[in-house]
Structure 1
Amino acid sequence: MSIPGLMISAPASGTGKTMLMLGLLSALRRRGMAVQPFKSGPDYIDPAFHATASGRASFNLDAWAMQPGRIISHVTGQPDADLILAEGSMGLFDGVATPGETGIGSSAEVAQMMGWPVVLILDVSGQAQSAAAVARGFATLRPDLPFAGVVLNRVASPRHDTLIREGMAEAGITVLGALPRQGNITLPERHLGLVQAEETPELQAILDHAGDFVGAHCDLDAIVAAAASRALPDADAPLPIVPPGGRIALARDAAFSFTYPHVLQAWRKAGATILPFSPLADEAPDDSADCCWLPGGYPELHAPKLAAADTFRSAMHRFAATRPVHGECGGYMALGAGLVDATGERHRMLGLLGLETSYHKRRMHLGYRRADLVAPLPGVGQGALRGHEFHYASITDQPDAPLARVTDANGAAVPETGSWRATRGGQVTGTFFHMIAPAAT
């Protein structure tokens, strides 16, 4: 029997989805419920918050980058739970213009596939009965998408609450909660989104507050009762995510932490052993590993410390001489020759690639990516990948050979091709995009 679920979504980013999601996870966990979280879209920060709030690993579901079978297997492959809660990305129907493996990458596509009714959180500041028109539009735009109701956010007063509820009742929209503006919750942010869960020392206090706040102002019984699912469609088994080695040295600390949980889970299920180490602590990768992987993160915030990590640097050069090393985004920049921070100061990086990057004049690079590899990548060979890129760095020099032909979601060429360099007995590769899954189409 499938587990009932809900999609927590909104008309736009910044409306309160994550706050509601964390509050529900915390409040329902206190009730003794086992709640399995998911994140729709390519976000690698929110799942760590979900995991802390729920006590269970959270996984990404991405309708552009993932085949239908992968989305379904991520949902059905988790331990038994009482309820599934998935947090959407951006607005409910937002995605790209050209479909990928399953769709355009919208939260609505995932909810429709799984039969999860939508709980829409609305920022009602500055409006009253008119909020019902927004809710009614979302509830009826796609008749085959189940819609549970709305949670009102940033309600100014009891009178404001009454006026909005009158409009919702007239429109036939169920109100599942009303969160007052006073006492609302703010999560710490930086330029790529929320400050990471592991860097938020007051996280448990925030989660406790969120659970209290949402529990006091939402009808938890009605929300749980609104959850539903459907018989899942038949889908071909997805292309496997093959580990880059049997023993993988994985950089893991505040500078290198952006890894998709489903990728690590797939590596482990395939029999790989993951060996974490901390470059910021000047640690070396485990010498028993047969591959080293540097994930994305915030090397620009820790550039002086990385530049001074001589043990890490010398060990990485010894490792790369005989075994493959790969870096994604922040890890790619750390593999390069130098990184210029926001103040204009250059910091020496590992020098395993010739890449030079700069944050002195920030420019956002954001979007889905398809990479057709022209050089072998550990675990992938020379196949094709789908992933996502999000950073503010500019390339000032990229002397090494390109790793791939990279295009965006519309098929337009992307100049950030990645790099590769052969070593005596191994290779060093890097990309600005984070791998989500092998590309089938």
Structure 2
Amino acid sequence: MPAGLVISAPASGVGKTTLTLALARAWRNRGLNVQCFKSGPDYIDPAFHAVATGRASVNVDSWAMDRATIAHLVGRGTDADIVLAEGSMGLFDGVAARGVSGTGATADIAEMLGWPVVLVIDPSGQAQTAAAIAAGLRDYRPGVRLSGVVLNRVASPRHEDLVRRALNDIGIAVFGALPRHAEISLPKRHLGLVQAEEQAEIGKLIDEAARFVAEHVDLDAVLRSAAAWSVQPAANGLNVTPPGQRIALARDAAFSFVYPHMLEAWRAAGAEITTFSPLADEAPDANADVCWLPGGYPELHAGKIAANARFRSGLRAFAETRPVHGECGGYMVLGTALTDADGISHEMTGLLGLETSFAKRRMHLGYRLAALGAPMPGHQAGARLRGHEFHYSTIVAQPDTPLAVVHDATGAVIAETGSRRGHATGTFFHLIAEDR
């Protein structure tokens, strides 16, 4: 029977991902089967999990998914020895209004699955106060159980001793303390970590993190703190309809933000997926019946996309007779123009009238609930879609017919309605699930 743990923290940027990857690789090096999950809408971390464990990782999300969907997804961990769910933001951070089964907080997943929480705490600039923070997190929600803490970026042995003593005095186990170690810092860019597939040395970096953590953390104590669990069979699987029988999926460094559970659900429903690379000037498969452009980093490759005539003409020809859908970055490429960080405007495919600018940067972040006013691939008019939006580009013009009425998690209507024109549709949100 596998055992489960949640890796969380008081806030973002404390070291959850590094610890998760290091624990996963260290235990895998000991011969254990390790399964990772990501709590919340993050499309980058699961790829790192897969490198560390050799097993695909997927997202579980209490705001967008019901309990049956979450049970179905975590069921892949039943043949593992240890399951690690990496949290997002702080342990209790979610939205104000409850979604399908929770607010999107990591604590929802910990309570729902009965997995204890290992807290990563960065005590920089404090000492005993770190214990007060840990105690507050331990006691904030009765259904969430804290198994212990790992201290990160400890300044000195004296600093560590002060924090350890304070935590021991309130009965919180300290599994280990990590001094600062720049060699295992994961590189970042504006939407988070640089993707695993773009880092040739990522395997070596994870190996070094595993070695470093094994040297400073009691791996056996962490493992013993995990809770044995058996997943309850889900009455239903994922409530996902594939956008077509044969899907041409854009896939390269500019088009990589797609949730693994979506692709798995499409395949499970009988769809075939063929990939093509716009950056390599490839066109979608002419035998496909739908084309899907996921999000990614087109703003970093706008000049190359604009120059790739074969891709642009092939996509236009495809859209004359069959549906084409773009999410976030894919939506931007379906538009007329994209202005890069230097203020240079690049011509895009022109299937939609959308114009966007990365020069005029403003963060757009949060859950989205969209009521479709017209069909899009895989979903009928009137469908309620749950997703997540995270980008810095701004809309300069969005002249086409809106695709949906889109609300944020508070219920407020937002301007990023998506667009439709002919066979082309696009949204700024990434689809996670459809309401049952």
Could you tell me whether the CA contact under 8 Å between 1:418 and 1:429 is conserved in 2? yes
The one-character-per-residue Cα deviations of 1:230-259 (angstroms, maximum 9, x if unpaired) are 565787536620110111000000000000
Query: Which residue of structure 2 aligns with residue 436 of structure 1?
Result: 432
SS state of the match for residue 245, structure 1? coil
User: What letter matches 2:247 in structure 1?
Assistant: I
Query: Which residue of structure 1 aligns with residue 147 of structure 2?
Result: 148
CA RMSD of aligned residues (A): 1.4
Q: Take 1:420 and 1:163, find their aligned partners in 2: how far apart are those partners?
A: 60
Q: Take 1:163 and 1:363, find their aligned partners in 2: how far apart are those partners?
A: 41
1:416: how far off?
Answer: 0.5
Could you tell me whether the CA contact under 8 Å between 2:72 and 2:238 is conserved in 1? no
Q: Does 1:249 align with 2:248?
A: yes
Query: Which residue of structure 2 aligns with residue 384 of structure 1?
Result: 384
More deviation in 179-188 or 335-344?
Answer: 179-188
SS state of the match for residue 159, structure 1? helix
1:76: how far off?
Answer: 1.0
Q: Does 1:116 align with 2:146?
A: no
Query: Which residue of structure 1 aligns with residue 412 of structure 2?
Result: 412
The one-character-per-residue Cα deviations of 1:115-154 (angstroms, maximum 9, x if unpaired) are 1100000001122222111111111212221211000111
Q: Take 1:210 and 1:263, find their aligned partners in 2: how far apart are those partners?
A: 30
SS state of the match for residue 320, structure 2? helix
SS state of the match for residue 293, structure 1? strand
Q: Take 2:364 and 2:11, find their aligned partners in 1: how far apart are those partners?
A: 20
The one-character-per-residue Cα deviations of 1:72-117 (angstroms, maximum 9, x if unpaired) are 1100145611110000000000000000000110000001000110
Could you tell me whether the CA contact under 8 Å between 1:154 and 1:184 is conserved in 2? no
Query: Which residue of structure 1 aligns with residue 394 of structure 2?
Result: 394
The one-character-per-residue Cα deviations of 1:49-89 (angstroms, maximum 9, x if unpaired) are 11111111110010101111111110014561111000000
User: What letter matches 2:396 in structure 1?
Assistant: T
1:170: how far off?
Answer: 0.4
The one-character-per-residue Cα deviations of 1:181-202 (angstroms, maximum 9, x if unpaired) are 2456311000000011111122
SS state of the match for residue 322, structure 1? coil
The correspondence of residues 12-31 of structure 1 with structure 2, limited to 5 A, is: 12-31=11-30
Change (3 A) 1:239 1:199: closer
Q: Does 1:75 align with 2:74?
A: yes
User: What letter matches 1:369 in structure 2?
Assistant: R
SS state of the match for residue 187, structure 1? coil
Q: Take 1:270 and 1:237, find their aligned partners in 2: how far apart are those partners?
A: 13
Q: Take 1:396 and 1:171, find their aligned partners in 2: how far apart are those partners?
A: 54
Aligned residues: 435
Could you tell me whether the CA contact under 8 Å between 1:249 and 1:275 is conserved in 2? yes
The correspondence of residues 334-373 of structure 1 with structure 2, limited to 5 A, is: 334-373=333-372
Query: Which residue of structure 2 aligns with residue 297 of structure 1?
Result: 296
Moved over 6 A (4+): none
The correspondence of residues 9-408 of structure 1 with structure 2, limited to 5 A, is: 9-78=8-77, 80-182=79-181, 185-230=184-229, 237=236, 240-382=239-381, 383-408=383-408
User: What letter matches 2:224 in structure 1?
Assistant: A
Q: Take 2:183 and 2:341, find their aligned partners in 1: how far apart are those partners?
A: 32
Could you tell me whether the CA contact under 8 Å between 2:60 and 2:73 is conserved in 1? yes
Change (3 A) 1:239 1:156: closer
1:219: how far off?
Answer: 0.6
User: What letter matches 1:201 in structure 2?
Assistant: A
Q: Take 1:361 and 1:198, find their aligned partners in 2: how far apart are those partners?
A: 28
SS state of the match for residue 278, structure 2? coil
More deviation in 5-14 or 124-133?
Answer: 124-133
Unpaired runs of at least 5, structure 1: none
Could you tell me whether the CA contact under 8 Å between 2:4 and 2:229 is conserved in 1? no
Could you tell me whether the CA contact under 8 Å between 1:67 and 1:238 is conserved in 2? no
Q: Take 1:74 and 1:20, find their aligned partners in 2: how far apart are those partners?
A: 23
Could you tell me whether the CA contact under 8 Å between 1:113 and 1:232 is conserved in 2? no
SS state of the match for residue 258, structure 1? coil
More deviation in 136-145 or 338-347?
Answer: 136-145
Q: Take 2:432 and 2:181, find their aligned partners in 1: how far apart are those partners?
A: 39
Q: Take 1:361 and 1:319, find their aligned partners in 2: how far apart are those partners?
A: 32
Q: Take 2:257 and 2:203, find their aligned partners in 1: how far apart are those partners?
A: 21
Could you tell me whether the CA contact under 8 Å between 1:156 and 1:182 is conserved in 2? no
